[in-house]
């Protein structure tokens, strides 16, 4: 019933978060296409309103993906905590949460980078990496604490 292989715990947590990042990124990209076709094409919007929509919508998508990572890490921590038989497994959950959260934000950021004015990314690569790292650190706390408190 319990995983005796820590590499499986690490891989499971990291991959689930990576797949969530792909889903968030794809949803952001498709939502942007919808915004572009139905909202910004409206003749009722002035140039300032269009500029605000095109400039801040991708940033909102990126903020949402950074906020989602610790939430997903916390949920995974609970599930992994129920599976673990030793507290040291929480270390593998923590590493998986960091890798997974960083990949979640980075992968969704790649998709989000295709949105905005002319497909130009509103966030540079260094900013994206730093946001992914910060989200990863918070996800470590979230995933570790919930796995320890969720353990038997």
Domain assignment of residue 49, yes or no: no
Q: Does position 15 have pLDDT exceeding 50, yes or no?
A: yes
Domain assignment of residue 111, yes or no: yes
Angle at which helices 125-150 and 47-83 cross, to 10°: 30
Domain ranges, residue 63: 17-33+58-150
Considering its fold, how many domains does the chain have in total? 1
Answer with the residue of higher pLDDT: 50 or 147.
Answer: 147
Nearest CA to 146 among 83, 58, 57, 52? 83
Domain assignment of residue 91, yes or no: yes
pLDDT at 152: 64
Answer with the residue of higher pLDDT: 35 or 92.
Answer: 92
Q: Any residues with CB less than 8 A from the CB of 128 and at least 6 apart, and which?
A: 62, 105, 106, 109, 113
Domain assignment of residue 6, yes or no: no
| CA 120 distance to own-chain centroid | 20
Domain assignment of residue 146, yes or no: yes
Answer with the residue of higher pLDDT: 58 or 120.
Answer: 58
Domain assignment of residue 74, yes or no: yes
pLDDT at 93: 92
């Amino acid at each position: 019933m319990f995983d005796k292989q820590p590499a499986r715990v690490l891989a499971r947590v990291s991959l689930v978060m990576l797949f969530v990042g792909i889903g968030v990124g794809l949803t952001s990209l498709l939502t942007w296409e919808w915004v572009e076709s139905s909202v910004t094409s409206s003749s009722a919007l002035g140039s300032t309103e269009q500029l605000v929509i095109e400039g801040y919508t991708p940033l909102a998508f990126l903020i949402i993906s950074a906020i989602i990572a610790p939430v997903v890490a916390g949920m995974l921590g609970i599930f992994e905590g129920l599976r673990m038989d030793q507290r040291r497994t929480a270390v593998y959950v923590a590493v998986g949460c960091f890798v997974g959260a960083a990949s979640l934000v980075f992968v969704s950021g790649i998709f989000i980078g295709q949105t905005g004015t002319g497909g130009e990314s509103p966030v540079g690569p260094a900013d994206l990496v730093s946001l992914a790292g910060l989200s990863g650190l918070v996800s470590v706390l979230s995933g570790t604490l919930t796995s320890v408190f969720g353990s038997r």
